[in-house]
Homo-oligomer: A and B are copies of this chain.
Amino acid sequence: MFTILNGDNPFQRKIPYILLTNGGGVAEHDRCKKLSTQLGIPINPQQYCQAHTILKKFSNEYSDKNVLVMGGKLDAVRQVAQGYGYHKAYTTLDVLVWNPSVWPFHTLSDAEKATTQAVDFSKTPISAIFVYHDPRNWALDIQVACDVIQSEGIIGGPYVPLDKQKKPVDLIFCNPDLIWKADFDRPRIGQGGFKVAFQAVFKALTGAEYPHVQYGKPSTETYRYASEVLQGWIHTLYGPGNDAPHLYMVGDNPESDIAGANAAKWSSILVNTGVYDPTQGSPTHLPTHYAEDVEVAVKWAIEQHLCTQPNVKSVTTQFM
């Protein structure tokens, strides 16, 4: 399929593409290195957009603000955040090292301790909470998020009613998926489940859910960002001066891939090899086109596009 995109097609044209995923938890560079080996073709980090890649956009705004980053193994997402230019990114394990009584039901392991930074959170107002990936300790992360939000950023500080807060804490989730397909027979609860759990507990404590920003497929922000990434990649490949590309999304998940592509006015192609099962009836969101698998989808998009608009550079965006 990648060889087709790389020019092995009847039009002998290279089709710029990116990979767009709701996964994450490691730096794009590291993930692409692994992917390139697995797929046997080079995948450039400029072609790769995971759930939290969009946070690069806001690195100026948060570069010197104290933020909490949640999810992933140990402090892996802190390293991702630092790579994006968030210089004061802290983890809930840092919070626990500072004051173990914040969450008395977890004792830090040596491996966890080794990743922590010494921070006095009583003097470190947190501006934002970014949920990069699935939190490993839901209870700790929900507790700390509730602490930070209720006290305007100072963990353990006096509570300030939400309607009286001068600088409410920003809360950003990167992947809305309630479930995802893992190795187990039945789908597993995803980061969307963590969000549901957090909001329910926060509501029980305060009476209301907390306003938040949601990125990841199918959010429009993520599709808009992905189209910028793709144009950047075209620019890298061919230099400036290219028209806005026509975009195709190939995906297996009607609720995220197809819904998002349709809302962003991309063409959408639904395949049968993942979440969507054609024997279970119509998908919840109708695609522009159906295809057996990704290869068939890519072939269809190329023919469709280059036969009807032979002079326009065409682009396929590919799901992960």
Contacts and interface: CB of A to CB of B under 8 A. Distances in A.
Interface of A: 99, 101-106, 109, 134-139, 142-143, 146-147, 150-151, 156, 159, 178-179, 182-186, 188-189, 192-194, 196-201, 204-205
Nearest to A100: B183
A182 B104 CA distance: 8
A138 B138 contact: yes
B182 A205 contact: no
Contacts of A103: 188
Given A104-B188, A143-B188, A199 B200 contact: yes
Contacts of A205: 178-179, 189, 193
Contact of A193 (B134, B142, B156, B188): B142
B143 A189 contact: yes
B106 A136 contact: yes
Given A102-B184, A139-B138, A184-B156, A196 B189 contact: no
Contact of A142 (B99, B178, B183, B189): B189
Contact of A185 (B105, B156, B200): B156
B101 A183 contact: yes
Given A101-B184, A178-B205, 11 more contacts: A99-B184, A135-B139, A137-B137, A138-B139, A151-B186, A178-B204, A192-B204, A197-B198, A197-B200, A197-B201, A199-B200
Contacts of A139: 134-138, 189, 193-194
Nearest to A139: B138
18 contacts: A102-B184, A105-B134, A134-B139, A136-B139, A138-B142, A138-B197, A139-B193, A139-B194, A142-B189, A142-B193, A142-B197, A143-B188, A156-B185, A159-B186, A178-B204, A178-B205, A193-B201, A197-B201
A179 B143 CA distance: 11
A136 B184 contact: no
| Identical copies of this chain, number | 2
B106 A109 contact: no
Nearest to A159: B186
A186 B138 contact: no
A134 B143 CA distance: 13
A147 B186 CA distance: 8
A99 B184 CA distance: 9
A9 B156 CA distance: 43
A196 B139 CA distance: 12
Contacts of A136: 105-106, 139
A199 B201 CA distance: 10
A116 to B, nearest CB: 18
A28 B225 CA distance: 58
B189 A200 contact: no
A196 B200 CA distance: 6
Contacts of A204: 178, 192-193, 196
A134 to B, nearest CB: 6
Contacts of A178: 204-205
